[in-house]
Amino acid sequence: GLGDVYKRQGEAVRFQGDGPRLSPCLPTATGCVFCAIFGLLRVTRPDGPAIRPSLQVNGVGMQVRETALPGVLILEPARHGDARGFFSESWNRHRMEEAGLDFDFVQDNHSLSTDVGTLRGLHYQSPPHAQAKLVRCGRGALFDVAVDVRKGSPTYGQWLGLELSFDNGLQLLIPEGFIHGFVTREPMTEIIYKCSDYYAPDCDGAVAWDSCGIDWGLSGDPVLSAKDAAAPALADFDSPFIWEQP
């Protein structure tokens, strides 16, 4: 099979299924040469959905894009800039509901990673306190990853990665049933994410970062917590999540 890549102005979404990865596009002075020609480069996996072009919500310029993992979405809120900088609505419940995204986020998390190559994950919170997450980068840059671990899912074990940075302003919406992790690309990187349930220590878990075939883009060993270094492999993981057919 063929991996899915969404390319836009030098940004890239990488999708790993049962085939080779496609490399991120190379930006030019005017953006990616393919994007400049085609506007949006759409690559379709033979046995999976296409990544759809951007959609505006209520005319305000917030874009919502589907990915090859159903339910995992890319959000791009509009940024309104002037000589002072910019203003952006990073979350608006009403506009999300208009886009069919009805999430009751109850907790915001914010972490700082001082070193490049700091890897946190792959984490999950099991039912009855499973969490959907809306992830963005508050400072610096990171590579954010979601892996489908819903038993019975056609995309079980497949992953998607997205470069999130302060500069690009992108957000990744990860529903329940996916494990989540990220690695930092710049020093002093901050990640900010919303959660649909409160932290529940008894439901907290992790899967080994190197057991899912993810290309993290590392140049050396990652900086890990003791918990993440000792996490079980995906092959040994008895997932508490069940896929429900739409």
Q: How far apart are CA 89 and CA 82, in angstroms?
A: 16
Helix segments in the chain, DSSP class H? 33-38, 93-98, 226-229
User: What residues are labeled active site?
Assistant: 123, 193
Q: Tokens at residue 150, please?
A: 């819903």
Residue 189: C-alpha distances to residues 27, 171, 195 (Å)? 23, 15, 20
Q: Write out the DSSP string of 165-210.
A: ETTT--EEEE-TTEEEEEEESSTTEEEEEEESS---GGGEEE--TT
| Ordered strands of the 141-148 beta sheet | 5-8, 11-16, 159-165, 141-148, 178-184, 119-125, 204-206
Best CA proximity match to 156, nearest among 67, 44, 234, 50: 234
Q: Name residue 79's beta-bridge partners.
A: none
Are residues 155 and 139 in contact, defined by beta-carbon separation less than 8 angstroms?
Answer: no
- The dihedrals phi and psi of 16, each to the nearest 5 degrees, come to -110, 115
